[in-house]
Structure 1
């Protein structure tokens, strides 16, 4: 759109000229009429002067009203543009078009004032959240320069935002987090200290330019606490198993030693052989325990391929009696290692059968599957006594069975996690029993 010339006539002056032209026609008619009327020349001049004055006054009054209304609307819009929502247009009349226009302007001002108040409240809330949240937040503009750092980010990097405002983001070592949907656990070296953090980046737009938000969660303390807790649980189980084997070995060995020192009459040959048998049995048990521990630490990586879900479930269910297989679409597939997933299903079905037997339940064990949100969900439901101690079900070597090894569920969950899925066990709400759920990606 071209810029108007400076000498062009304004809108209000055009209206003034139009009004004068409209009033000129009756003025000319009046002049002609007065010319043919036989009256005093002074009276004729007086009438023409008054009529001319009225026409000119009316034209300029129209211009004044138009200018006043336009300036009112301009001042109101200018105040709204500058963020001042206190001005309002004066209402004139009750049913006029001008009154409707002013009412519309005032409604717009009220709406913008209300929206501005809401925005300010949200900004205050957002500022408080960003200032007090533990997650470090760094905003990066479209030039990959730092445009915002919250206090958590300043504390994490031990630097004030005022010193890095507008600086390249690579000065913080965050250049790798700029690609879209970046989600990784990385290790940072900050002030000669290495920290593990979780990086997550997302994009937002400002004035049409793409910017990025980088969220940094310091997980060093969380990992340290989890590691300490895992070691404590593992050492507790290891100590229990090792003490169960070493205590009788030490006791029997001491008894045999004292008997050998005292002489052959103190201990019969059968007792001596029985003591050696116990030592041998506990030694074998301890050796078996160590082998099972090695089995946990040497789980092979899954060889993944597309697997028929109905065939996988049917093959596992055939190994047991009283397994009720719900209808499964034969076209459904999951992506994983067939032998490892079959081992998981066999472990879970075996546990379900043993749970039903221990509860003397005659109910069937149901296994089914469903597909949603690009995930396959397999559920196994039993009618046993349920799980009384949920906190320890995935602790290595913890078991409530007399002949249990305590590694079946641990191995099963590790296999599922290696497939990018999750294994959960919960007690049923409708009746006694447990529901085991396997979630797997289907592609």
Structure 2
């Protein structure tokens, strides 16, 4: 409606101007009334000026409005009382309403920003963000506490405080995480990601102190380990002590000392021999257990190299088929993509695969048609997974929760360190080993490299 009124007002002014010009020409050329023509010409000049101002006022208002929007300056307003007519008064009113809406939106945005800043400053996770030039865009109070500094303008300033931590943060690839212990009271988990805003690239780093969680897990691990150690040691020490006491009783009751000569009957001799033999066997078993524990705690560091995973899998499967698997056991291998290259320590990964395939074969000893499926694949993040699935009896849920605890075993003859050792090797490869099982349907172990 405003523009309709503007068009009518403009049309009326043009018609009046045209009529005045015609009238001016009529007086000058047809009636020779020069004075009247001059007066009317002055009127024409005024009408031209007024028309110019009328049109120009619209451009001025639009220019002021667009400049205010461009620079987010909504403090100024437009005079509601316009001398150029009602249409301009309505235009002023609409501009002012738009300004009011912008001011309200900016105020809400500012409130949300202040709220987010408050949240960011009070979270227990350190947040640090900087651009490609190293300029710090965001650093909260928790990050300052972890970084041991109160002032950071550039990420390079951190090098003066803790050079090692600076190197870790600056060189950590986006999408990766690492651990760092700058002091006894800090054990930092550092994660990095990359953001792209308004054509600029920013690196966002989150820093969290996981010391309490690690301590809790360490306590739980020691408790579980202590339970297993106590169980295994008591199983050996109790019969040793009992048999030693029995042997002493036999010596006291049945052995006869006569003039420095010691004699006892055949039955006592057999009992003492049996007791000592049993003590010897149990002692050897305890020594074997301690040796297994030492092997578990002294895993060599991986020596990474790029290898084809299909060659590793085929070599291990061939070895298992010849030495471990039953004659009727079938091992299926599916690798996608076929010539996948991975960066691993092949000797340690072979150890893990052999252990898992050996466990699968032993679990299917009572199965008529044992089948093991070995599947290798990658996910959308290009992570490599190796799944080993058997059709054995499965694992009870209670046992499934404990199978990775050192020295825990469900076998009659087993050290209980195979799966723990395998999981530790995968962790040293920055991967993981998990298991899932359905009783009566089989078990699947998954290696994530």
Give the TM-score taking structure 2 as reference length.
0.73
2:130 equivalent to 1:137: no
User: Secondary structure of 1:345's partner?
Assistant: helix
Q: How does 1:423-438 map to 2 (within 5 A)?
A: 423-428=433-438, 432-438=441-447
Q: 1:188 aligns with which of 161, 178, 182?
A: 182
Counterparts of 1:363 and 1:109, CA distance in 2: 77
Contact 1:73–1:89 at 8 Å: present in 2 too? no
2:347 equivalent to 1:354: no
Q: How does 1:29-428 map to 2 (within 5 A)?
A: 33-35=26-28, 37=30, 41=33, 45-46=35-36, 48-49=38-39, 51-80=40-69, 81-82=71-72, 84=74, 116=106, 119-120=109-110, 123-124=113-114, 126-140=116-130, 148-156=138-146, 161=150, 164=151, 166=153, 168-173=157-162, 174-176=165-167, 177-179=169-171, 181=173, 183-189=177-183, 195-201=186-192, 213-264=204-255, 268-303=268-303, 304-309=305-310, 311-312=314-315, 314-316=317-319, 318-319=321-322, 320=325, 321-328=328-335, 330-357=338-365, 360=367, 362=369, 364-372=371-379, 373-388=381-396, 389-428=399-438
Counterparts of 2:30 and 2:55, CA distance in 1: 38
User: Structure 2: 5+ residue runs without aligned partners?
Assistant: 1-12, 83-87, 256-263
* Counterparts in 2 of 1:69 and 1:31: CA distance versus 1, 3 Å: closer
Q: What RMSD, in angstroms, separates the aligned Cα atoms of the two structures?
A: 4.3
* Counterparts in 2 of 1:89 and 1:201: CA distance versus 1, 3 Å: farther
User: Secondary structure of 1:366's partner?
Assistant: strand
Contact 1:378–1:438 at 8 Å: present in 2 too? yes
Query: How far did 1:242 drift?
Result: 0.9
* Counterparts in 2 of 1:102 and 1:405: CA distance versus 1, 3 Å: farther
Query: How far did 1:397 drift?
Result: 0.8
Give the TM-score taking structure 1 as reference length.
0.74
* Counterparts in 2 of 1:58 and 1:221: CA distance versus 1, 3 Å: same
Counterparts of 1:338 and 1:346, CA distance in 2: 12
Equivalent pairs counted in the alignment come to: 402
Contact 1:317–1:325 at 8 Å: present in 2 too? no
Q: 1:439 aligns with which of 430, 445, 448?
A: 448
Query: How far did 1:201 drift?
Result: 4.8
* Counterparts in 2 of 1:385 and 1:239: CA distance versus 1, 3 Å: same
Query: How far did 1:402 drift?
Result: 1.0
What's 2:5 paired with? none
What's 1:5 paired with? none
Query: How far did 1:354 drift?
Result: 2.6
Cα deviations by residue, 1:217-240 (Å, 9 ceiling, x for unpaired): 212222222222222221221111
User: Secondary structure of 1:186's partner?
Assistant: strand
Contact 1:383–1:432 at 8 Å: present in 2 too? yes
* Counterparts in 2 of 1:36 and 1:106: CA distance versus 1, 3 Å: closer
User: Structure 1: 5+ residue runs without aligned partners?
Assistant: 1-18, 93-97
* Counterparts in 2 of 1:374 and 1:38: CA distance versus 1, 3 Å: closer
Query: How far did 1:394 drift?
Result: 0.7
